[in-house]
A and B are shown apart, each in its own frame.
Chain A
Amino acid sequence: MQSTAEKGFIKRLGQLLEPLLVPFLAIFTAVILGGIIIKVVGGDPIAAYKGLVQGAFGSPQALSETAVWSTPYIFAGLAVALGFKGGLFNIGAEGQLAFGAVAAALIGYALPGWLHTSIPPYIHIPLAVGAGVLAGAIWGGIPGALKAYTGGHEVINTIMMNYIALNITSYLLNGPMRDPNPLNLSARTPEIAVSARIPPIFDIPGMRIHWGFVLALLMAVVVWWLLWKTTLGFEIRTVGANPDAAKYAGINVKWIITLSMALSGALAGLAGAIEVTALNYRHELGFSTGYGFDAIAIALLGKNNPFGIILAAILFGAMRNGSTRMQFLTQIPVDIISVIQALILLFVAADAIIRFIYRIRAHEERVVLTRGWGG
């Protein structure tokens, strides 16, 4: 009896860990290959990785910085994953994130002036963050509506919307929203009011970890709950898995497509808003380059599972954070991190390679991320 129970437990554990197997082996293989590359260019892989781990996890400050780096990755990764679940490929997180940051910054620095009064933080913070969420939702909702009602492909449209968003942001930060301080030489907004700032968790200099990180973890739970426990999530997943069956079941497919993209955009906007209100206290041109694109990678590595995304985001955050110390200690350029990240993605996306190397039997059903260009 005991052995059956034990077997059952091991089987359950196996089922639980099985989805982690390929991503784990992908990371492992990428690290090995990265080590070989470091060796070939004349570095010491062991020292490099030691530096990397030290930089990412070696001290309370390092841990704090890893969390800071991971925060926008978690939000934006969730954004992309939510779109994926609805059968939509949101390439536009970058633009949605930029507009979220701009909107949060505007409300953050300008609202007290408009109202000619100071605002208590418990009102100002939600307003600033909410403005960012709304801006992201609109910027994501537009390509969603275009997809639903005109059939315009969301991949093309979100890419185009990125260009529009990034150029408008550039104009705003160089023009109407530029920090008027005479000492300012860069394209950035003024600092947001103190009342709009999300405080750090610890009041210790050098520990920048803020409540936004906690909010990000919370959002993963919320997204998981929304997708798997609510009727709206059922509708989003059904539209993503089989739009014909969704229509047959009476689901308003066009509305759900629009809403999925708006929710995805909202999460990306939240990423931008949190960077402004909890970390930088302003929006500056070029601060966010790549978050929206890395988010696609993170969603892929996390298999579109909110908790997988937390792990993937922390991994990416740790690598970005640790790479500075690695470069300082070993003079190996931080760019090697981009190479390793690219390798991880390659192996996750083309998981047949990993399955072949490690002789893992393929699943009969594969994860289909999007229904392709014709979708």
Chain B
Amino acid sequence: MTENDVVLEAKEITKQFPGVLANDHVSIDLHKGEIHALLGENGAGKTTLMNILYGLYRPDSGQVFVNGKPIVIHSPKDSIQAGIGMVHQHFMLIPVFSVAENIMLGDETTHLGVLDIKAVSQRVRDLSHQYGLEVDPDTKVGQLSVGAQQRVEIVKTLYRNANILILDEPTAVLTPQETEDLFRIMRQLAARGVSIIFITHKLKEVLAVADRITVMRAGHVVGTTKPNETNEPKLASMMVGREVILTVQKQPAKPKDEVLRVEDLSVLDDRDLEVVKGVSFDVHAGEILGIAGVQGNGQTQLAEALTGLRPIKSGKVFISDKDVSGKTPRPIIETGLAHIPEDRQRHGLVLSYTVADNMVLCNYYLKPFAKWGVLQQDKVDENARRLIKDFDVRTPSPYVPTSKLSGGNQQKVIVARELSRPIKLLIASQPTRGLDVGSIEYIHKEIVAMRDRGIGVLLISAELDEIMALSDRIAVMYQGQIMDVIKAGQATKESLGLLMAGIKPSVAAEAAAPKP
């Protein structure tokens, strides 16, 4: 890789949206065979810049050069012509079509007007061989894992002869293993001369895979650096614009009475498979019990069963010694449960509702928000104004639909609503998924503050770092069972990792020990 091989350069790009200067004289360049990470919080202008390069937006001013020549991009067609390919965060694939059919979509190879699927399949096979991307052209896309679908999207761009690849938040939907796979693929592509722009807000990933890092904040480029010249705290403060505390500050827990007891709980998933198998554990007031585990080991269904969203097959659940097994959500909420749901847009919010209405979603029927079945709008608004202030929700007003808020602020609306009620137990499922550094820091602080106020917290998260940073005890879930519960002080990443893979330390020790 030489410094002169600039394949793509954006110079002084400016883009104004009503009320927001999304890109303010942004310049960025990309070398041949380079992985260039574009780092920034939600709303920093990363995606706007990429959409300009991909021809979805027109810049107000500024120029784009490909291989040193200025080009004008009116539409994605022009950018594909110029060799730029983009993999969006949400895949643009048709599940019932095969991989080959998806790849040729919009660029069909025909022979006398008949689709030449065989030729396409062969080309896909060649490409996947050439770049080390395993995809079978004849499988239906719907049957592929998320990671494999992403590979199809990448092959799709290569099929169109792209040598500049834009990956928009590609790891947001991947498991840790799939993320590792993607990084391997990215390195291979780079080694074969493909240049990659990698958009993300995850610091670890940037340090792991990028050759260069450009940080954006509020529409500006804050700076460009290299992984060996920086570290996580430095990148975080560049992103956020202030010092960020990445480690969670907390005192030792002072556990008190039991607030949640789960006895031999079994739960079925939507396909009637038993995905939680006879689980027992407890959570005490003033402690955080973390449930670690690779996504899809029954954690989602466990949380749904505990909160009444999903029926239980057998077993008992007690909240503050009250039997709530098989109850519907409302009586469970009324025993003092707060629930930060895993899918905030599906369960946590009514996106078309205002911030104010969402902030009373679970207690709109109680005094002072309702009297004799009539909503007291002034009380609802007052509540919203107070919570917006207390929880630092960034919204122009309480009357804005929550759909207009960023992901971090949407989550803050939920956190504010749930934590402001009189509660004894908090169940937080993936509370920081998809959020930026600033919001993660904030939500972690709130969860610890709740613990210190004597509330029992059940934290379910697929992010091992989060579990280890917050929990006082850690339970590891594997294939619907709890492998072990460990005190946080005694847990290491390695010991948890083994449990997450379904290997008990005693078994591992036995296996390692020489047989008598």
Interface, chain A (partner B; CB < 8 A): 229-234, 238, 241-242, 244-252, 365
Q: Verify if B65 is at the interface (C-beta below 8 Å from A).
A: no
Knowing A245-B347, A248-B339 are in contact, say whether A365-B403 is a contact too (CB < 8 A). yes
A233 to B401, CA, bound (A): 18
Q: Verify if B159 is at the interface (C-beta below 8 Å from A).
A: no
A250 to B328, CA, bound (A): 7
Knowing A242-B346, A365-B352, A365-B403 are in contact, say whether A248-B329 is a contact too (CB < 8 A). yes
Knowing A241-B350, A242-B350, A365-B401 are in contact, say whether A247-B373 is a contact too (CB < 8 A). no
- Nearest-CB residue, chain B, relative to A239: B350
A128 to B230, CA, bound (A): 81
Contact A244 B375 (CB under 8 A): no
Contact B346 A234 (CB under 8 A): no
B354-368 vs A: 1/0 string, CB under 8 Å?
A: 000100011011000
Contact B348 A248 (CB under 8 A): yes
A247 to B350, CA, bound (A): 11
Our pick among B329, B350, B403 for the contact of A250 (Cβ within 8 Å) is B329
Q: Verify if B131 is at the interface (C-beta below 8 Å from A).
A: no
What are 10 A-B pairs with beta-carbon distances under 8 A? A229-B374, A232-B373, A233-B375, A238-B353, A242-B346, A245-B347, A245-B361, A248-B341, A252-B328, A365-B403
B residues 367-407 near A (Cβ < 8 Å) are 370, 373-375, 377, 401, 403
Contact B362 A250 (CB under 8 A): yes
A-side contacts of B364, CB under 8 Å: 231, 234, 249
A-side contacts of B370, CB under 8 Å: 231
Q: A248-B361, A365-B403 are in contact. List 17 more A-B contacts (CB 8 A).
A: A229-B377, A230-B373, A231-B373, A231-B374, A234-B357, A234-B364, A238-B361, A241-B352, A242-B346, A242-B351, A245-B346, A245-B349, A247-B329, A248-B329, A248-B348, A250-B333, A251-B330
A245 to B353, CA, bound (A): 11
Q: Verify if B50 is at the interface (C-beta below 8 Å from A).
A: no
B-side contacts of A365, CB under 8 Å: 352, 401, 403
A23 to B152, CA, bound (A): 44
B-side contacts of A233, CB under 8 Å: 375
B residues 332-350 near A (Cβ < 8 Å) are 333-334, 339, 341, 346-350
B-side contacts of A232, CB under 8 Å: 373
A247 to B364, CA, bound (A): 14
Knowing A241-B353, A242-B351, A244-B346 are in contact, say whether A249-B373 is a contact too (CB < 8 A). no
A-side contacts of B72, CB under 8 Å: none
- Best-buried of A230, A242, A246, A251 by chain B (most CB within 10 Å): A242
| Ranked 8 nearest A-B pairs via Cβ | A250-B330, A248-B347, A250-B329, A242-B350, A249-B361, A231-B365, A241-B350, A231-B370
A247 to B361, CA, bound (A): 11
B-side contacts of A238, CB under 8 Å: 350, 353, 361
B-side contacts of A231, CB under 8 Å: 364-365, 370, 373-375
Do most interface residues of chain A lie in helix, strand or loop, or is the interface mixed? Answer: helix
Contact A230 B375 (CB under 8 A): yes
A-side contacts of B330, CB under 8 Å: 250-252
Knowing A248-B339, A250-B333, A365-B401 are in contact, say whether A230-B374 is a contact too (CB < 8 A). yes
A244 to B346, CA, bound (A): 6
Knowing A241-B353, A248-B339 are in contact, say whether A234-B329 is a contact too (CB < 8 A). no
Our pick among A229, A230, A245, A252 for the contact of B350 (Cβ within 8 Å) is A245
Nearest CB in chain A: distance from B300 CB, A? 13
Q: Verify if B104 is at the interface (C-beta below 8 Å from A).
A: no
A365 to B402, CA, bound (A): 12
Q: Verify if B309 is at the interface (C-beta below 8 Å from A).
A: yes
A246 to B364, CA, bound (A): 12
A245 to B370, CA, bound (A): 20
Nearest CB in chain B: distance from A250 CB, A? 3
B-side contacts of A229, CB under 8 Å: 374-375, 377
A265 to B334, CA, bound (A): 33
B residues 83-131 near A (Cβ < 8 Å) are none
Nearest CB in chain A: distance from B302 CB, A? 16
Nearest CB in chain A: distance from B110 CB, A? 32
Contact A245 B348 (CB under 8 A): yes
A-side contacts of B362, CB under 8 Å: 248-250
- Best-buried of A234, A238, A251, A365 by chain B (most CB within 10 Å): A234
A231 to B330, CA, bound (A): 15
A231 to B366, CA, bound (A): 9
B-side contacts of A244, CB under 8 Å: 346-347
- Nearest-CB residue, chain A, relative to B403: A365
Contact B329 A249 (CB under 8 A): yes
A-side contacts of B403, CB under 8 Å: 365
B-side contacts of A246, CB under 8 Å: 350
B-side contacts of A252, CB under 8 Å: 328, 330
- Nearest-CB residue, chain A, relative to B380: A234
Nearest CB in chain A: distance from B413 CB, A? 12
- Nearest-CB residue, chain A, relative to B362: A249
Nearest CB in chain B: distance from A278 CB, A? 30
A-side contacts of B351, CB under 8 Å: 241-242
B residues 439-476 near A (Cβ < 8 Å) are none
A335 to B312, CA, bound (A): 59
A252 to B346, CA, bound (A): 17
- Nearest-CB residue, chain A, relative to B343: A244
Nearest CB in chain B: distance from A129 CB, A? 24
B-side contacts of A251, CB under 8 Å: 330
Nearest CB in chain A: distance from B246 CB, A? 31
- Nearest-CB residue, chain A, relative to B304: A248
A249 to B403, CA, bound (A): 18
A283 to B268, CA, bound (A): 54
- Best-buried of A244, A245, A247, A251 by chain B (most CB within 10 Å): A245
A250 to B335, CA, bound (A): 12
Nearest CB in chain A: distance from B417 CB, A? 10
- Nearest-CB residue, chain B, relative to A246: B350
Nearest CB in chain A: distance from B327 CB, A? 10
B-side contacts of A249, CB under 8 Å: 329, 361-362, 364
A-side contacts of B347, CB under 8 Å: 244-245, 247-248
A250 to B362, CA, bound (A): 7
A245 to B403, CA, bound (A): 14
Nearest CB in chain A: distance from B305 CB, A? 14
A-side contacts of B365, CB under 8 Å: 231, 234
A-side contacts of B374, CB under 8 Å: 229-231
Nearest CB in chain A: distance from B16 CB, A? 16
A241 to B347, CA, bound (A): 12
Nearest CB in chain B: distance from A364 CB, A? 8
B residues 52-98 near A (Cβ < 8 Å) are none
B-side contacts of A247, CB under 8 Å: 309, 329, 347
A109 to B184, CA, bound (A): 83
- Nearest-CB residue, chain A, relative to B377: A229
A-side contacts of B348, CB under 8 Å: 245, 248
- Nearest-CB residue, chain A, relative to B330: A250
Nearest CB in chain B: distance from A96 CB, A? 25
A241 to B402, CA, bound (A): 13
Nearest CB in chain B: distance from A224 CB, A? 13
A-side contacts of B350, CB under 8 Å: 238, 241-242, 245-246
A242 to B401, CA, bound (A): 14
